[in-house]
Amino acid sequence: MSDNFQRPQRLNWPDLPMPTARMIGLGYVLLIIYASIYPYNFNVSVGAGILDWVTAPIPKYITSFDVFTNILGYVPLGFFTVFAVYPRLKLYRALIVAMLLGALLSGILESLQTWLGTRIPSNVDWFANIGGAILGALLAMPLDPKWLSGSGFQRRRIEWFGFRTSGILLVLAFPWSQIYPQQAWLAMGDWGFVWLIPVIQNTSFNFAAIEMITTMLAWLGAGLCISLSMKPAAPKLKILLALLLMTIIFKALFSGMQFGIDKSFSWLTPPAFWGMIFSSILLAGLIQLKRSWQYGLAILSLGLMIFLVNVFPKNPYYLVTIQEWRQGRLIHFNHLMSWLAWIWPIGAALSLVKGLKARSSI
């Protein structure tokens, strides 16, 4: 071996603050505010003091759903707070900041709910929110400094997605876009209410076959769009399967919160299940094709999915689910999730256009 040979030096990522965590934390605070006081129909003449809820007696009836929801809703806030204050504040100092932030934010929102006719402020909700923020902080505290500083995430992002942000945004938004009930599992882009698209009038359709095909096209289109935003060396299949698993967990969790724990997987019908399995097998082979073929198949899959969702008649079981969803729990959260389900295919299409433009300029 030559004396001039030098081993490549391992890149050391600096232990610096993570601006992305601060942006995500701020965005999540805005989401909590939206879900807590929407639709902002305040009435200051209700006759109750803004802090009466602090000393009010504990409600006689407390549902496990309300307590669980309030705890769960503030877990991400505490989790991202630990990231946001690192490395200036660590361990128990970060825990105290997360607890105080959760207490302050929840206290302000509970006070504002005094003037909302559809909301009831409660000290039980306040304590549950504080507990959620503490739990989230405790989950983040043991993490390695390279993850708390964001250097680990940054390295993975550059290795897998390069400097493009569209793929990251599609991955982050995909699980949330599936929370709102879809005509078929994973199928987004129901725009008929906007454009008044004429629906084929025929009651003899096989809704099971339509649901399976729509699910397959939806996952193929989404998977190919996300795959095309990754670098060639990225473990694409593992990332896509992990994303699908996370989406299933999200869907089951929110379905259980909305309709009851016994209906957490009521949306995963046999056609939807097998459509997801078959499309995952196909996707494993399609992501190995040339990028030009992947672009064509992604556009075709998204286009056919939009056609099936908007032109074919709605599944009767889906219509019943929509009625229960709009009138059930989480009513102040549903509208935002429905918009995310409508615009995700648009974001995927823009990502494809951006990818084509970037390649043509090389």
Read off the pLDDT of residues 134-193 as tens digits, 9 standing for 90 and up: 999 998 888 766 666 666 666 777 778 876 677 788 888 899 888 887 878 888 888 766
Whole-angstrom distance, CA of residue 66 vs CA of residue 124: 9
Q: What is the pLDDT of residue 224?
A: 93
Could you tell me if residue 223 is inside a domain? Answer: yes
pLDDT confidence band for 362 (50 / 70 / 90): very low
Q: What is the pLDDT of residue 8?
A: 46
Could you tell me if residue 6 is inside a domain? Answer: no
The answer to whether residues 123 and 207 belong to one domain is: no
Q: What is the pLDDT of residue 5?
A: 47
Report the range of poorest mean pLDDT among 140-149, 175-184, 320-329, 331-340.
Answer: 320-329
**Pair 68, 257: CB distance under 8 Å:** yes
| Structural domains in the chain (count) | 2
The answer to whether residues 132 and 175 belong to one domain is: no
Q: What is the pLDDT of residue 1?
A: 47
Could you tell me if residue 49 is inside a domain? Answer: yes
The answer to whether residues 146 and 168 belong to one domain is: no
Q: What is the pLDDT of residue 55?
A: 76
Please enumerate in sequence order all residues whose Cβ is within 8 A of that of 349, keeping only pairs 6 or more positions apart, or say none. 299, 302
Could you tell me if residue 4 is inside a domain? Answer: no
The answer to whether residues 23 and 85 belong to one domain is: yes
Query: Domain boundary at 110, 133, 153, which?
Result: 153
pLDDT confidence band for 218 (50 / 70 / 90): very high
Could you tell me if residue 3 is inside a domain? Answer: no
pLDDT (mean) for 189-203: 64
The answer to whether residues 129 and 81 belong to one domain is: yes
The answer to whether residues 311 and 175 belong to one domain is: yes
Is the pLDDT reported for residue 194 higher than 50? yes
The answer to whether residues 197 and 128 belong to one domain is: no
Domain range for 192 is 162-360
Q: What is the pLDDT of residue 119?
A: 74
Q: What is the pLDDT of residue 319?
A: 62
Query: Domain boundary at 132, 153, 174, which?
Result: 153
Is the pLDDT reported for residue 12 higher than 60? no
Could you tell me if residue 350 is inside a domain? Answer: yes
Query: Domain boundary at 131, 153, 175, which?
Result: 153
Report the range of poorest mean pLDDT among 18-22, 54-58, 324-328, 342-346.
Answer: 324-328
- Tracing tokens 């919160």 back to the chain, one arrives at 257
Is the pLDDT reported for residue 202 higher than 70? no
The answer to whether residues 96 and 205 belong to one domain is: no
pLDDT confidence band for 17 (50 / 70 / 90): low
**Pair 72, 132: CB distance under 8 Å:** yes
pLDDT confidence band for 248 (50 / 70 / 90): very high
Could you tell me if residue 85 is inside a domain? Answer: yes
The answer to whether residues 178 and 298 belong to one domain is: yes
The 10s digit of each residue's pLDDT in 34-51 is 877 777 777 776 666 777
